[in-house]
């Protein structure tokens, strides 16, 4: 199992200790002392690889199936011998302005924690290092791991929301740029793309409110009762993140409506200009068409100044129309 297990260690009184390489022996050693727990981290295990771990820790088959298939909503499920939690970390890619999500499954039981990571965005190595540097928190056992993981994931939601806010401010500047400004790229397409990123974010952060509410309320097996205030803090951060996401989604909807309205206004302006030019072109065409018929009983055809007079007439009418359209803002 060396390939799939990223890290494995026994933690006693908040300090990491070396334990047996065999998971069964390591779990038995952690349970023997009563003040220790085993934390095993896995990355994208196969069914056979995770089957070995599941049998050692007696994990529920339904939870094992969810951990292997991934593509789960954030949730918290309680089984007889373990607690199963699913979180969806998000990552912002500044090069492509995209939001991608991974999946993080956490099993908690009697003196053990098993974390399973799928995709990117799961900073478990960072969480483990931070906990190992703070024995005062780590000595609270598996509950400390659940708190630290959820706190890190939710705090990263706030960072990603801030990055999205910056992108949307730039997009908003393009949408409401003055008529002389030159928009960058297809604005409507960029708005729809941004809405897709916000939707991906909402799928990760929104459903997590239910599990955190249960942890905040307490009475969840395998979770220490004194940890409720800490999960309440995480829930507060999640509420802020969800409020930011809702605000970003409303802002994008408003920007799309404003952009479509502006396009309609521009099209109306263009139609007015085209109509004005067409009207001015129609006048000399009409006059020239009348005199081009060459009727015999048109005395002005024989006048010496008829040709310049007709030209002046056409120019005068066109100039009159131009001034009228200009005054009304059609030109």
pLDDT for position 69: 83
pLDDT for position 297: 65
Residues 107 and 215 in one domain: yes
Number of domains in the chain: 2
pLDDT for position 168: 86
Q: Are 64 and 42 in contact (CB under 8 A)?
A: no
pLDDT for position 1: 46
Q: Given 207, 237, 262, which residue is the final one in a domain?
A: 262
Q: DSSP alpha helices (H): ranges in the chain?
A: 23-33, 47-57, 61-69, 124-132, 135-138, 142-175, 187-205, 209-217, 228-291, 306-327
Q: Given 227, 262, 297, which residue is the final one in a domain?
A: 262
Residues 135 and 216 in one domain: yes
- Write the CB contacts of 143 (distance below 8 Å, at least 6 apart in sequence): 108, 222, 223, 224, 227
Q: How many CB atoms lie within 10 A of CB 261?
A: 10
Residues 222 and 92 in one domain: yes
Residues 297 and 153 in one domain: no
Residues 212 and 90 in one domain: yes
Residues 14 and 149 in one domain: yes
Distances (CA, A) of 216 to 135, 202, 212, 235: 23, 21, 6, 8
Residues 153 and 82 in one domain: yes
Strand-strand pairing, 90-93 and 75-78: unpaired
pLDDT for position 182: 45
Residues 221 and 108 in one domain: yes
Supply φ then ψ for residue 17, to 5 degrees. Answer: -135, 150
pLDDT for position 268: 74
pLDDT for position 178: 62
Token pair belonging to 55? 């049998």
Look at residues 35, 42, 31 and name the one whose alpha carbon lies nearest to residue 15: 35
The CATH number covering residue 35 comes to 3.30.460.20
| Residue 92 host element (H or E) | strand 90-93
Q: Given 262, 290, 307, which residue is the final one in a domain?
A: 262
The CATH number covering residue 313 comes to 1.20.58.340
Residues 204 and 300 in one domain: no
| Sign, CA torsion 225/227/233/238 | negative
Residues 211 and 307 in one domain: no
Weakly modelled stretches of the chain, pLDDT under 70: 1-3, 120-123, 177-185, 294-297, 301, 330-331
pLDDT for position 167: 85
CA distance 202 to 250: 13
Residues 212 and 313 in one domain: no
Residues 146 and 182 in one domain: yes
Q: Are 13 and 135 in contact (CB under 8 A)?
A: yes
Could you tell me the residue range of the domain that residue 315 belongs to? 269-327
């Amino acid at each position: 199992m060396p390939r799939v297990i990223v890290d494995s260690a026994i933690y006693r009184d908040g300090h990491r200790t070396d334990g047996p390489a065999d998971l069964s022996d390591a779990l038995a050693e952690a349970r023997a002392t009563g003040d220790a727990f085993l934390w095993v981290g896995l990355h994208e295990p196969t069914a056979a690889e995770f089957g070995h771990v599941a049998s050692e820790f007696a994990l529920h088959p339904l939870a094992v199936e969810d951990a292997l298939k991934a593509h789960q909503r954030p949730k918290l499920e309680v089984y007889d011998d373990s607690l199963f939690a699913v979180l969806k970390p998000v990552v912002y890619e500044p090069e492509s302005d995209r939001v991608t999500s991974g999946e993080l499954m956490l099993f908690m039981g009697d003196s053990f924690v098993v974390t399973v990571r799928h995709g990117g965005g799961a900073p478990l190595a960072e969480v483990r290092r931070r906990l190992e540097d703070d024995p005062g928190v780590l000595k609270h056992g598996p509950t400390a791991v659940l708190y630290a993981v959820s706190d890190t994931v939710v705090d990263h939601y706030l960072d990603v929301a801030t990055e999205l806010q910056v992108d949307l401010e730039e997009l908003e500047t393009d949408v409401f740029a003055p008529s002389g400004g030159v928009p960058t790229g297809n604005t409507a397409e960029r708005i729809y793309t941004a809405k897709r990123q916000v939707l991906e974010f909402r799928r990760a952060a929104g459903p997590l409110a239910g599990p955190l509410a249960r942890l905040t309320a307490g009475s969840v097996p395998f979770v220490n009762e004194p940890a409720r205030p800490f999960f309440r803090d995480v829930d507060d951060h999640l509420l802020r993140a969800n409020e930011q996401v809702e605000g970003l989604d409303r802002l994008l909807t408003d920007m799309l409506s404003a952009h479509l309205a502006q396009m309609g206004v521009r099209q109306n302006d263009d139609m007015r200009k085209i109509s004005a030019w067409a009207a001015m072109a129609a006048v000399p065409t009409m006059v020239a068409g009348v005199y081009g018929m060459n009727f015999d009983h048109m005395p002005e055809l024989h006048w010496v100044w008829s040709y310049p007079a007709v030209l002046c007439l056409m120019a005068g009418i066109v100039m009159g129309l131009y001034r009228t359209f200009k005054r009304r803002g059609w030109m």
